[in-house]
């Protein structure tokens, strides 16, 4: 029996709505969340838009989720 996928963490409404169109492209929810956090980070007011800086800006403390953003 296949376990249903959990819901992705919500971010900003317009980012959630935009990214929802791409949900089916991701096998894992954690990769979809990284995709959403990447968009959130690109729209943030940080001066540096590097992947590690985006991960810090969006508040990722979990190293696995952080690695998903950095490694793609």
The percentage of the chain sitting over the pLDDT mark of 70, rounded to a whole number, equals: 81
pLDDT at 34: 86
Q: State how far the Cα of 14 lies from the Cα of 70, in Å rounded to an integer.
A: 23
Q: How far apart are the first and last CA of the chain?
A: 29
pTM for the predicted model, two decimal places: 0.77
pLDDT exceeds cutoff 70 at 2: no
Q: State how far the Cα of 15 lies from the Cα of 23, in Å rounded to an integer.
A: 12
Residue range 19-49, pLDDT digits in tens: 999 999 988 888 888 889 889 988 988 888 8
Helix (H) / strand (E) element for 14: namely helix 13-20
pLDDT at 23: 92
């Amino acid at each position: 029996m296949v376990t249903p996928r959990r819901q992705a963490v919500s971010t900003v409404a317009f980012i959630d709505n935009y990214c929802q169109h791409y949900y089916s492209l991701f096998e894992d929810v954690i990769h979809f969340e990284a995709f959403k956090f990447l968009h959130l980070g690109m729209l943030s007011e940080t001066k540096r838009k590097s992947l590690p800086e985006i991960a810090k800006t969006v508040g990722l403390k979990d190293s696995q989720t952080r690695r998903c953003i950095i490694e793609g």
